[in-house]
Amino acid sequence: MGIVHKYNGEEDAFDWEGVTEKLYQAADVKGTTAKVLIGPAEGAPHFRIRYFHIEPGGYTSLHRHPHDHGVFILHGRALVLLGNNEVELGPRDVVYIPGDEVHQFRAIGDEPVGFLCVIPAV
């Protein structure tokens, strides 16, 4: 049976019923939290949908891994590092990151950045 996580209705809250926020932990992370919107708890066997929130001046880890993923920017502005290239992103921009490519997201400006990230079940 399918599962629904209703949005809380507040425009800037980015909070869903039944979804808990976790600090995104790695040695080189600053001001980043994540929520698994669809994943093992919902019984999804093939993919994960996650929401990342990065405070102004914050960033995700600089890393690489075998799986690819897609990112959809919901709000704020970010710099994404893809290999040796940096690209500025804003709302509704979409990014594909192939497996084993070095990548990192950094919030730029005075507002937090939030994005959805879809990955295979890993």
Q: Which residues have a catalytic role annotated?
A: 117
Taking the C-alpha atoms of residue 99 and residue 77, their distance in angstroms, rounded to an integer, is: 24
Taking the C-alpha atoms of residue 71 and residue 106, their distance in angstroms, rounded to an integer, is: 14
Amino acid found at 115 = F
β-strand 94-97 against 21-23: which pairing, if any? unpaired
